[in-house]
A = this chain, B = another copy of it.
Amino acid sequence: MRLKSFIDVPEDSHFPIQNLPYGVFTSPRNPEPHIGVAIGEFILDLYQLDKKQVFNGTHLRGKQVFLEPTLNAFMGLGKAAWSEARQQLQELLSADNPTLRDDIWLRDQVLIPMSEAQMHVPVHIGDYTDFYSSKYHAENVGTMFRGKENALMPNWLHLPVAYHGRASSVIISGTPVHRPQGQVLPADSNTPVFNPSRLMDYELEMGFFTGPGNALGDPIPVDQALDHIFGMVLVNDWSARDIQKWEYQPLGPFLAKNFATTISPWVVTLEALEPFRCPTQEQNPQPLPYLQLARNWSYDIRLEVSLQVENMAESFTITTSNFKYLYWNICQQLAHHTITGCNMRPGDLLASGTISGPEKESRGCLLEYTWRGTEPVELPNGKHRKFLQDGDTVIMTGWCQGDGFRVGFGECRGQLLPAKPVG
């Protein structure tokens, strides 16, 4: 029998009782940030429930992690506590359970309409790392810049390439982003100029938040990695391609990426994603033992990127991709990141890199999709896009399709505003 909530949730909602993702919100009634769980069109206020000592199981009793303004403390408790919370919330929201269903006062207190809430970055992100784990993406970009023969760097098939990103500029879906200004090298010139980026791009990514983490010097083995991963979000790694091209040698991208990274507000737990595990591409050559999985696997998460452009009634879907297209698995990413002893803390964010698939339609950024601007996207209103223009809104979404329900991520949305005048 399918799990069902007393709260009405349509089949295409991202937030049925099978999901129960965590976020942090404020509302007119609760101006202080509270932790909540999404259910249909509502947010269940865990702060209020924790105040009422609802979480009285073995792992959560007395911990008061839901009185915190971020998810870090809960993430730090580990898998047994995450499972306990999920089970208790599913019981509380189930159609059979009268506790909340039949208590009109309690419902009014703990169920907040999403339309009244403002979402916030739900985690204090200690460190943010960005991988480069789609082989299709790496090959496309490599082909454009170095030709087909040298598309993949020699290390790419042996390790999940990554770099450190900027944690301070991770922002929540809905926050507009100003076009950045910086140094770029004009074509046919040896001297850089300063101007607003002309090659603004999105990158379709997903990211996971770490759980308890490891002490400095003690790597997380690949077969224990899932004990240290709490859940996932959508990520838009905004990129200024012209700034990137000029600055990135030899130490990697810096200003071209650190002005903004947008995440979706609801952290979907690995437990909710578990039914959507799927086998994925074999890895060849076989990785070194510290990266070996019995078999490569992923999650079947459908992903879309749409563009909402001025004078267009509806948004237009450009990219249709899937999380399963990634070559490197999340357990391998975490094992690799910690193999030299680097320590993870609860709430670190590890993003996937652009998630491109085998088809043109599944290319996860405009650089690839338009092949450096040589194949512009044609929009339904007759306009074209090589890269983003001021006023464009990028909307990413993703969900797993169950039998009559979806486990979804909601939206990761952001509008590009014109560059600010230099002060």
Contacts and interface: CB of A to CB of B under 8 A. Distances in A.
A171 interface: yes
Interface string A38-67: 000000000000000000000000000000
Interface residues of A, number: 69
Contact of A168 (B217, B288, B343): B343
Interface of A is mostly: loop
A250 B218 CA distance: 27
Interface stretch (A22-30, A76-84, A153-161, A304-312): A153-161
Interface string A166-185: 11110100000110111101
A191 B410 CA distance: 42
A113 interface: no
A313 B198 CA distance: 61
Given A247-B161, A342-B258, A171 B253 contact: no
Interface stretch (A315-323, A333-341, A377-385, A393-401): A333-341
Stoichiometry, as copies per complex, reads 2
A267 interface: no
A123 B420 CA distance: 32
A203 to B, nearest CB: 13
A154 B189 CA distance: 11
Given A194-B288, A218-B420, A339 B182 contact: yes
A182 B340 contact: yes
Contacts of A342: 166, 168-169, 255, 258-259
A147 B180 CA distance: 35
Interface in A384-409: none
A256 B218 contact: no
A221 B182 contact: no
B183 A158 contact: yes
Contacts of A197: 340
A154 B288 contact: no
B219 A154 contact: no
B216 A171 contact: yes
A31 interface: no
A345 interface: yes
B423 A247 contact: no
Contact of A190 (B154, B166, B218): B154
Contact of A159 (B247, B341, B344, B422): B247
Contacts of A254: 161-164
A249 B162 CA distance: 10
A364 to B, nearest CB: 17
Nearest to A341: B259
Task: Select the residue from A165, A168, A218, A420 with max chain B CB neighbours within 10 A.
Answer: A168
25 contacts: A126-B167, A127-B166, A153-B249, A155-B249, A158-B191, A161-B247, A161-B251, A163-B163, A164-B164, A164-B166, A164-B254, A168-B342, A168-B343, A168-B348, A169-B216, A178-B217, A181-B339, A183-B288, A194-B288, A194-B290, A251-B252, A255-B339, A255-B342, A258-B340, A259-B342
Interface of A: 126-127, 132, 153-155, 158-159, 161-169, 171, 177-178, 180-183, 185, 190-194, 197, 216-219, 221, 240, 243, 246-256, 258-260, 285, 288-290, 336-337, 339-345, 348, 420, 422-423
Given A161-B247, A248-B250, 9 more contacts: A132-B251, A153-B250, A158-B183, A158-B192, A161-B251, A164-B254, A168-B342, A178-B217, A259-B340
Q: Nearest 8 pairs between A and B by C-beta?
A: A252-B252, A180-B340, A163-B251, A164-B164, A259-B340, A251-B252, A259-B341, A255-B340
